[in-house]
């Protein structure tokens, strides 16, 4: 028999990462309150959780205050792919800033621990490689990606100011590219783009010459890192990078997807989008030493699981 271990709020809980986090928290014995406005997510992600008596889902936009009683808050709510966050950039910034203010206010009232999922995008198009947490970044504050990049940077500022001013127990992690089952098939991220195109026998779209690099962390590894961060000592505030330090070119990824899917569709090359980072790789020294965390799922294995998920879900 599972013993309940407290009440946890997950904002953005219906999304790709949020739904996996809700599932893991339930399996670990927590009561889970899942909050989402369904802007970039689908209820299908949590359909298998709805009958669990320790799970509750609420449709709510975090730009408005929320009045609930919780012990811990995982604040994930914010569109995270360029297609979604550039659709309404003003709302994206409001979600990052107003949403954080509202969740921090809730944490202050309830005395809850609160964790922010920030992003590697705070490093912008980095001039330092790999990126460690003490690098301040190279971000264009007025470009088309700024609503997300600067929104998350402002969210980090708010978290640390609430910590200093009000003594809140905060946790800040910076997530690098994460992939796996339940990714939105049309979110514009490179893994889902490649896999969906390959399975539909459409050309894989590569921007530039495909020599830009990314580091891909499988969802199960990422969730383990989030739990370790929330469970860390009170003095551990972060920011801490969570990602897989394996660095691959986009061309490497395309070749692996073509190999694993057996597609004959080939590759289509298009110009690079504005402000697209040229290199991206996390330095996870701090996560390893502070949390005892490092990813264990290699790209080929995680990609095979992801391809199988999309085989079963896309038409």
Domain boundaries, the chain: 7-179+217-245+282-296
Q: Give me the count of residues in the chain.
A: 315
Closest alpha carbon to 243 in 275, 288, 307: 288
CA distance 296 to 72: 27
Does residue 158 have a pLDDT over 70?
yes
The reported pLDDT for the residue numbered 254 is 94
The reported pLDDT for the residue numbered 176 is 95
Helix, coil or strand: residue 205 = strand
Which residues does residue 118 pair with via DSSP β-bridges, in sequence order? 174
Banded model confidence at residue 2, pLDDT cuts 50, 70, 90: very low
Banded model confidence at residue 87, pLDDT cuts 50, 70, 90: confident
pLDDT over 70 for what percent of the chain?
Answer: 97
Does residue 1 have a pLDDT over 50?
no
Closest alpha carbon to 239 in 111, 141, 152, 109: 152
CA distance 123 to 139: 7
Closest alpha carbon to 148 in 126, 171, 118, 128: 118
Helix, coil or strand: residue 43 = helix
Read off the pLDDT of each residue in 66-72 and give the average, rounded to a whole number: 97
CA distance 315 to 91: 31
Closest alpha carbon to 281 in 233, 248, 236, 237: 248
218 near 295, Cβ under 8 Å?
yes
Read off the pLDDT of each residue in 142-161 and give the average, rounded to a whole number: 94
The reported pLDDT for the residue numbered 276 is 74
CB neighbour class for 235 (10 Å; exposed up to 12, middle 13-18, buried from 19): exposed
Catalytic residues: 148
Fold adopted by 7-179+217-245+282-296: Rossmann fold (3.40.50)
Does residue 275 have a pLDDT over 80?
no
113 near 230, Cβ under 8 Å?
yes
């Amino acid at each position: 028999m599972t013993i309940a271990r407290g009440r946890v709020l997950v904002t953005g809980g219906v999304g790709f990462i949020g739904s996996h986090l809700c599932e893991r928290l339930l399996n670990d014995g927590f009561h889970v309150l899942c909050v989402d406005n369904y802007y970039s997510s689908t209820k299908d992600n949590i359909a298998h959780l709805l009958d669990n008596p320790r799970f509750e889902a609420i449709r709510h936009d975090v730009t408005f205050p929320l009045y609930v009683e919780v012990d811990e808050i995982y604040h994930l709510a914010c569109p995270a792919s360029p297609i979604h966050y550039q659709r309404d950039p003003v709302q994206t910034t409001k979600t990052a800033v107003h949403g954080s203010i509202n969740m921090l206010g809730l944490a202050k009232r309830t005395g809850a621990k609160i964790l922010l999922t920030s992003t590697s995008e705070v490093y912008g198009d980095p001039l330092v490689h790999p990126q460690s947490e003490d690098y301040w970044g190279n971000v264009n504050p007025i470009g088309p990606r700024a609503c997300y990049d600067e929104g998350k940077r402002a969210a980090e500022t708010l978290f640390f100011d609430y910590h200093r001013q009000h003594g809140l127990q905060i946790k800040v992690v910076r997530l690098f590219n994460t992939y796996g089952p339940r990714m939105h098939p049309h979110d514009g991220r490179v893994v889902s783009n490649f896999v969906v195109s390959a399975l539909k026998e459409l050309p894989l779209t590569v921007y530039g010459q495909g020599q830009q690099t990314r580091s891909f962390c499988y969802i199960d590894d990422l969730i383990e890192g989030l739990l370790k961060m929330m469970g860390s000592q009170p003095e551990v505030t972060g920011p801490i990078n969570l990602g897989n330090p394996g660095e691959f070119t986009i061309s490497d990824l395309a070749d692996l997807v073509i190999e694993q899917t057996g597609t004959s569709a080939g590759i289509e090359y298009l110009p690079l989008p504005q402000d697209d980072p040229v290199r991206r790789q996390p330095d996870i020294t701090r996560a390893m030493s502070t949390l005892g965390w490092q990813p264990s799922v290699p790209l080929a294995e995680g990609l095979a699981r992801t391809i199988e998920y999309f085989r079963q879900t896309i038409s």
